[in-house]
Chain A
Amino acid sequence: KAGVTQTPRYLIKTRGQQVTLSCSPISGHRSVSWYQQTPGQGLQFLFEYFSETQRNKGNFPGRFSGRQFSNSRSEMNVSTLELGDSALYLCASSLASGPYEQYFGPGTRLTVT
């Protein structure tokens, strides 16, 4: 069974631009979560989508948004990029019900200059 895939793997953007990251979950997984990882803050939860609806949301500004499509693929968007948005963005998928064991993708490394 194929794992979680994320595209692109690397991105370099300039302050003020916007960016869209994509995640394809494991086949049969309907829940997709996004996390941000930085050296200073560690791994922080952004949001979770299930059945095209946001089910959970972390404590991030409205510049961070996401969506999920009917095939469970998900995208996250960051608008008006700031230097502090430079991070590894990780996507994880799981089944829709317990135990919710999450499987992570390789991540997208975003650098904002």
Chain B
Amino acid sequence: KQEVTQIPAALSVPEGENLVLNCSFTDSAIYNLQWFRQDPGKGLTSLLLIQSSQREQTSGRLNASLDKSSGRSTLYIAASQPGDSATYLCAVRRETSGSRLTFGEGTQLTVNP
């Protein structure tokens, strides 16, 4: 059974800091991994999708890396801003499960002005 863990559960940083969010998964037979952002009481916004054959993906100030063999992914946020405050969720998709995602518990990020 796939389990996804995110560390830390919560993180508070001053504006402008670079930060790294961690995600680990127990079953390396993944198809891809998706990072999402969720604002309080809202739906999920897709940030980055990284295929199992890729090592990293970048979008603006965000960079996601994937090490499939060790079961780890990181989300790097450069020059953090107060608007980045949200919960960040990592989710993995197995090779045989179609679009079904298994989610981690999330990291709640607060960026202080």
A residues near B (Cβ < 8 Å) are: 4, 31, 33, 35, 42-45, 48, 50, 55-56, 58, 88, 90, 92, 94, 98-107, 109
B89 touches A43 (CB 8 A): yes
Question: Which residues of chain A are within 8 angstroms of B93 by Cβ–Cβ distance?
Answer: 100
Q: Which residues of B contact A4 (CB under 8 A)?
A: 43
A90 adjacent to B43 (CB under 8 Å): yes
Task: Report the Cα distance A61→B91, complex, angstroms.
Answer: 23
Please report the C-alpha to C-alpha distance between residue A107 and residue B42 in the assembled complex, in whole angstroms. 7
Give the docked Cα–Cα distance between A80 and B56 (Å). Answer: 46
Residues on B facing A (Cβ under 8 Å): 31-32, 34, 36, 41-46, 49, 51, 89, 91, 93, 97-106
Alpha-carbon gap, A112 to B42, bound state (A): 19
Residues A55 and B43 in contact, CB atoms below 8 Å apart: no
Q: Indicate if the CB atoms of B99 and A42 lie closer than 8 Å.
A: no
Specify which chain B residues have a CB less than 8 angstroms from the CB of A104 in the assembled complex. 36, 43-46
Contact check, A45 vs B101: say whether CB atoms are below 8 A apart: yes
Chain A hits for B89, CB < 8 A: 43
